[in-house]
Chains A and B, each alone.
Chain A
Amino acid sequence: DSGVTQTPKHLITATGQRVTLRCSPRSGDLSVYWYQQSLDQGLQFLIQYYNGEERAKGNILERFSAQQFPDLHSELNLSSLELGDSALYFCASSVEAGGGELFFGEGSRLTVL
């Protein structure tokens, strides 16, 4: 158990819909990262927050947005969903803003039908 909690574990929805994925980092970790992993693909970095502020941005679509709240949990919002958005979405946390070991949650598996 990494200490990072993600909900929901599984989510099935239809194209055009909007979903929110939630992540609680390890106690004491200020940084939260979101990654997307499509079937048999590598981890694609989406976005990072540190202590409530956006720190780094990767290949995140405009239809996607995220935020980190004062209690340090984070949410990833995916809207106007397309079939290609079906993937595992991982949240990871770390103590530092830059680098350091990442601790991954179990992921949220999104299926868009």
Chain B
Amino acid sequence: GQNIDQPTEMTATEGAIVQINCTYQTSGFNGLFWYQQHAGEAPTFLSYNVLDGLEEKGRFSSFLSRSKGYSYLLLKELQMKDSASYLCAVIHKAAGNKLTFGGGTRVLVKP
């Protein structure tokens, strides 16, 4: 199966930190992406993890544990413009390297 679970919605305060968790089950893991999507707009690439560990890119970091089928996206020093949906997506090797998206986590940043 190819299940990807992430929380539906999270609220945080400007300047704070928010961690968005993603768990997955796949028949052959070949990488995990995080995308940001503002309402009505195209998803834009944030990060890619294929090996265990933390990838840091400015205010955003992404962590992967393949043995646990778990990833998180960490957003630091939140800004109002970070209010968006964050999509976890997994590449399934057994499915021809198909990229499957989770339902997305809507993050609302409050002043």
Query: A59 to chain B: closest CB distance in Å?
Result: 10
B100 pairs with A101, CB closer than 8 A: no
Give the contacting residue for A98; candidates B30, B40, B43; CB below 8 A: B30
Give the contacting residue for A90; candidates B31, B42, B102, B103; CB below 8 A: B42
Give the contacting residue for A41; candidates B96, B97, B103; CB below 8 A: B103
A33 pairs with B99, CB closer than 8 A: yes
Which residues of chain B in 74-98 are interfacial with respect to chain A, using CB atoms and an 8 Å cutoff?
Answer: 87, 89, 91, 93, 95-98
- How many residues of A are counted as interface, with CB atoms below 8 angstroms from the partner's CB atoms? 25
Give the contacting residue for B97; candidates A44, A90, A99, A101; CB below 8 A: A99
Give the contacting residue for A2; candidates B42, B91, B93; CB below 8 A: B42
Tell me whether A98 and B45 are in contact in the complex, defined as CB-CB below 8 angstroms, given that A41-B103, A42-B103, A55-B96 are known contacts.
no
Residues of A within 8 A of B (CB): 2, 33, 35, 41-45, 48, 55-56, 58, 88, 90, 97-99, 101-107, 109
| 10 additional contacts (CB under 8 A) given A2-B42, A99-B30, A106-B42 | A2-B44, A42-B102, A45-B100, A56-B96, A90-B43, A99-B91, A99-B99, A102-B99, A104-B44, A105-B42
